[in-house]
Amino acid sequence: MNKVISTERLPIKLWLDDIESGALAQAKDLANLFYAWKWISIMPDSHQGYGMPIGGVMATQGVIVPNAVGVDIGCGMIAIKTTLKETEITIEAVKEIMGKIRDRIPVGFNHNKEPQSWKGFDDAPDIQIVQQELKSARNQLGTLGGGNHFIELQRSDDGYIWLMIHSGSRNFGFKTAREYHNKAKKLCERWKSDIPNQDLSFLPMETQDGKDYYEAMKYCLRFAEASRALMMEKAMGVVKLVTGADRESEVNIHHNYAAFENHYGKNVLIHRKGATKATVGLQGIIPGSMGTSSYIVEGLGNPESFMSCSHGAGRTMSRSEATGKRKTDRSLDMETELKRMEGVVHGLRNAKDLDEAPGAYKDIDVVMKNQSDLVKVVVKLKPVGNIKG
């Protein structure tokens, strides 16, 4: 841990020195919430979000906060170690693999042309927003989405090729988050609740809306996990077709969710928004940007972070700043970013693609150093091929 801020109702524990002003203001809002417990933990990749900063971890008593989970419920990572050694793959093979994966997995706003099969569709909770989205979700399962979602082929420091995918719950999560945040806002307005702004509106867990949101959220987690698994099955199929390699170990984790956990002898609801669970020995994935290192880690179970760690490198600028749509002196330069991507097969073609370029993100190695008391590195990965959502 880097420092503690003790000026608010609850302490704020920071695993970084350079937190941006907007994220710090949001952390202070969290620390003054009447329903927050113990302290607020801020991970080293933190940056400003809606209501709660990305990279924030908060424990609550009796309430759940939709914006402390976020709009992409269940967004997370899956990584597979293959049997292929990095010395056995050529640049031509990388290009073929990435091209075939792009043909098989829809990205951005594209969906599958045919409904996908998943047994979870048969036991969806009887909650209106979930039932309303079921039909379209059948075509969204196994699709990447856009934003910071990606598929990467990577080489590891143990000499093997890995596959990694970052994706979420698609419209399931977005619609669920929006629906229940609006319900929470109306409730807090009616009660004239003592919260700093509407973005931190909450639902008591004793209410039907609170119970329904929690169940819908858990279903979004299942959907997101199944969606990542389906994409990985397709991507691994391509790797096997091109190289003959098989899969070895697999990790599949979430980083936008809330869960009941016991900390310091008390059962509380832990909200992790852009943060990953890091109990002792639990394997996790911490990606960098599309041109920098990623890490397979094991949790150290640090109680001061509520046994959590970062979910990635964390942004240093918004997408509109990076692409130049928002005119600032921080916009990225295409030539510089292409140099940073040397040696990686990628789709960085024009200014609109710069939103996820390496320069838009913090230095992942500094992020990892800042959380050396939260996780230990198991494997370091470097990208050789990248598909941007």
d(CA 106, CA 137): 14
d(CA 255, CA 370): 19
Comparing CA positions, the residue from 116, 175, 172, 166 lying closest to residue 146 is: 166
d(CA 367, CA 388): 22
Is residue 181 part of the annotated active site? The answer reads no
Distances in whole angstroms, Cα of residue 255 to Cα of each of 3, 205, 244:
23, 21, 32
Tracing tokens 């020195």 back to the chain, one arrives at 17
**Tokens representing 53?**
């900063």
Sign of CA dihedral 62, 266, 17, 284: negative
Comparing CA positions, the residue from 261, 167, 163 lying closest to residue 220 is: 167
d(CA 117, CA 120): 9
Do 169 and 72 contact (CB within 8 A), yes or no? Answer: yes
Distances in whole angstroms, Cα of residue 367 to Cα of each of 1, 44, 115, 228, 373:
12, 5, 40, 25, 12
Comparing CA positions, the residue from 329, 328, 386 lying closest to residue 358 is: 386
**DSSP characters for 296-311?**
EEEE---GGGTSEEES
d(CA 155, CA 149): 19
Helix (H) or strand (E) holding 148: none
Write the single-letter amino acid at 318.
S
Task: Give, rounded to a whole angstrom, the gap between the first and last alpha carbons of the chain.
Answer: 33
Helix (H) or strand (E) holding 318: none
From 111, 166, 254, 311, active-site residue: 311
Catalytic positions are 311
